[in-house]
Amino acid sequence: MLLLALDTATPAVTVALHDGTDVIASSSQVDARRHGELLLPAVDRVLAEAGLRLDAVTGIVAGTGPGPYTGLRVGLMTADAFGLALGVPVHGVCTLDGLAFAADLEGPFAVATDARRKEVYWARYADSRTRLTDPAVDRPADIAEQVAGLPAVGAGALLYPDTFPRAHEPEHVSAAALARLAAEKLAAGEELPAPRPLYLRRPDAQVPKNYKVVTPK
């Protein structure tokens, strides 16, 4: 097994290689505006660090979000392209699940990432491997009762201490955590979902209403 994991659902552009035993190379850079520019060089960097070529990869793991439309699609489209070119399976893992796995907290907790617009993408977990609720997007004040008293991880939790007073690192997801979680599930015979994006809301860029068509005379 050689899994190439990547995620662009948060401001972190993160890539990792997992050889079936553990992560052998990884890279993470935080830049919310340069996902497309940074992702492929990061892939080249981790392959070079591991001394391997892309054609050695036997599977792709892609973070499926939730996340902003523009950033999220960079990682998913790249993962699909690699899968097609190499003829290998592409597996989807929820980005929030990767954060929960990396946090390794005991007991119930929440994960919240920054959704912008004064909102968070979030879910509740029973433990680092068990999600209790579907990913959602809400204003922090609107979910205060649902997460009251719970520890929380992620940039969204750190941004809104009134709602998440027990916020913890990590701030952003790492591909290393995604790779370890995916490898564990695959080794246990679990089938991972297809890499379909969890957008949860419409993209910021939309065609204006009452669009006026101007044609030359």
pLDDT in tens, 6-53: 999 999 999 999 999 999 999 999 999 999 999 999 999 999 999 999
pTM score > 0.85 for this model?
yes
> What's the mean per-residue pLDDT of the chain?
93
pLDDT in tens, 194-213: 999 999 975 554 555 565 55
pLDDT in tens, 61-103: 999 999 999 899 999 999 999 999 999 999 999 999 999 999 9
The predicted pLDDT at position 109 comes to: 97
Look at residues 49, 58, 59 and name the one whose alpha carbon lies nearest to residue 26: 49
